[in-house]
A and B are shown apart, each in its own frame.
Chain A
Amino acid sequence: MRIRSPKDFWAGLFFIAVALGFIALASRYGTGNMHRMGPGLFPILVSMLLASLGLIVSLRSFVIDGSPVPRFQLRPIAISLSAIALFGLVLARLGLLAAIAAMVLVGAAASRESRPLETAGLIVVLIAFSAVVFVWLLGLPIPLWPDA
């Protein structure tokens, strides 16, 4: 046996894992009867469908040829995700201005071509734009800096 379509194989496994997780959680919610269907019934039915689809997709990958999984480049995705999470962390504690600075500073590293001076300029522009447009003009309740 040889996996001939790795993308499908992994996609199938992913779907099976998700489905099993949801079934495990949903089985606690009760399935009820046809008149009063319980909160667990529908998710379990959908999960079962998802699991069987996942199974077919992954089994099929031994028969049908497909393209290999492209190489994951760690740098862009990992840095992007960290930058987003960091934005949340900083926004909660230090407000929008610091959050933008932190995010752009970290996020810029996702591209190898970022240049420090440009990034600094970008931070200034984005901070000014966000403060003026979102907070001042649109009046959105976003804290700009930590509450004194």
Chain B
Amino acid sequence: MDFKTIRFLTAAAVGLVLLVQPAFSQTYPSKPIHILVPYAPGGIADIASRIVGAKLTEAWGQQVVVENKPGGNAFIGMTAGAKAPADGYTLTMATVGDVAINPALFKDIPYKWDDYAPISTISDAPMVWAANAATPYRSIADVLAAAKAQPGRLSVGTPGNGSINQVVMEWMALNTGIQFQHIPYKGGAPAAAALAGGDIPFGVLASSSAAPQVKAGRLRVLAVTGAQPSKFNPEWPTLQSQGVKDVDASNWTLLLAPKGTPKEIVDKLQAEVAKILAMPDVKERFAGGGVETIPSTGAELDAKVKKTAQQLSVIVEKAKIKAD
């Protein structure tokens, strides 16, 4: 055999291996799976990844590594997830803000929804409109009346600029024709602490960060921001039931693969995740943080993201929410 033949045969062999590779998805997963989290440890996306990851390991006997890639409004983690090889070994756990708010908020955003193959929605965390317990406000009607009397003077704290919490606040303001003064904090915990300490009268918080302060008697929950009351606190009325039309938002997470991941792999992941999210002990662990599990199909997730992105982008634009 001369050199050329060897080279040809080698190339052919390599090509064959590449061609055959999709068939290997029968044996997926054959090496550790990474779940990228575009946030620092401790957030809901991180916790969700760790719970689901541990169960995937149990089911498939392959290690699942949760890799936190925080920073840049989640750009870093989301971009890494979009650019990873589409082989099902690198997944991304995103939150609703990353896929439904960021595209409206930033002109130069390095990733788009089409970059991903949706697997499933994972968890759903209700948000609440809370007031400091020492304030006289007992219902959303009280808030609206006070805001009408002094437009732009009532301060509302949120976990940050461009957070879903801020969008909800602006949504409510738009639909009722009033204005609030937005006070952004660096995350949910400082915002909850400031509200409990009485620095600000109102806050839009995750129910999990509000709950301990409510128990301590420092906060009062005036409404949940979803269309349905929270399963864990059915006594909290919704915004809609108190005359704020249309507003329906919560902080949910979703699991993504890079676009082009073989359908069998995405389906296998989806089926397994659905099984995991239905397990009683998994539900219980999420419920500990006031969070529900919400399994779905990839198509349902796709529709949900598109609908939410469309709704929220209108608010971002109308309320002139800016981040850069």
A121, CB-defined interface residue at 8 Å: no
Task: Indicate the size class of the contact surface on chain A.
Answer: under 10
- Please indicate the chain B residues that have their CB under 8 angstroms from the CB of A139 in the complex: 65
B292, CB-defined interface residue at 8 Å: no
A141, CB-defined interface residue at 8 Å: yes
- Please indicate the chain B residues that have their CB under 8 angstroms from the CB of A141 in the complex: 34, 65-67
Query: Scoring A residues 105 to 148 as 1 if CB is less than 8 Å from chain B, else 0, what string do you get?
Result: 00000000000000000000000000000000001010000000
- Please indicate the chain A residues that have their CB under 8 angstroms from the CB of B66 in the complex: 141
Residue of A nearest to B32 (CB): A141
**Contacting residues of chain B (16-37) with chain A, CB-CB under 8 angstroms:** 34
Q: What CA separation (Å) do A141 and B65 show in the bound complex?
A: 7
Query: Scoring B residues 60 to 96 as 1 if CB is less than 8 Å from chain A, else 0, what string do you get?
Result: 0000011100000000000000000000000000000
Q: How far is the CB of B225 from chain A (nearest CB, A)?
A: 26
Q: How far is the CB of A144 from chain B (nearest CB, A)?
A: 11
Q: What CA separation (Å) do A27 and B67 show in the bound complex?
A: 38
- Please indicate the chain A residues that have their CB under 8 angstroms from the CB of B34 in the complex: 141
Residue of A nearest to B68 (CB): A141
Q: How far is the CB of B120 from chain A (nearest CB, A)?
A: 23
Q: How far is the CB of A36 from chain B (nearest CB, A)?
A: 9
Q: How far is the CB of A47 from chain B (nearest CB, A)?
A: 22
Residue of B nearest to A139 (CB): B65
Q: How far is the CB of A34 from chain B (nearest CB, A)?
A: 14
Q: What CA separation (Å) do A59 and B34 show in the bound complex?
A: 57
Query: Scoring B residues 241 to 274 as 1 if CB is less than 8 Å from chain A, else 0, what string do you get?
Result: 0000000000000000000000000000000000
Q: How far is the CB of B93 from chain A (nearest CB, A)?
A: 14
Q: What CA separation (Å) do A141 and B80 show in the bound complex?
A: 15
Query: Scoring A residues 55 to 72 as 1 if CB is less than 8 Å from chain B, else 0, what string do you get?
Result: 000000000000000000
Q: How far is the CB of A94 from chain B (nearest CB, A)?
A: 17
Q: What CA separation (Å) do A139 and B34 show in the bound complex?
A: 13
Q: How far is the CB of B101 from chain A (nearest CB, A)?
A: 21
Q: What CA separation (Å) do A14 and B34 show in the bound complex?
A: 45
Query: Scoring A residues 24 to 39 as 1 if CB is less than 8 Å from chain B, else 0, what string do you get?
Result: 0000000000000000
Residue of B nearest to A35 (CB): B181
Q: What CA separation (Å) do A141 and B32 show in the bound complex?
A: 11
Q: Which residues of A approach B to under 8 Å, CB–CB?
A: 139, 141
Q: Write 5 A-B pairs (CB below 8 A) sorted by A numbering.
A: A139-B65, A141-B34, A141-B65, A141-B66, A141-B67
Closest 5 CB pairs of A and B: A141-B67, A141-B65, A141-B34, A141-B66, A139-B65
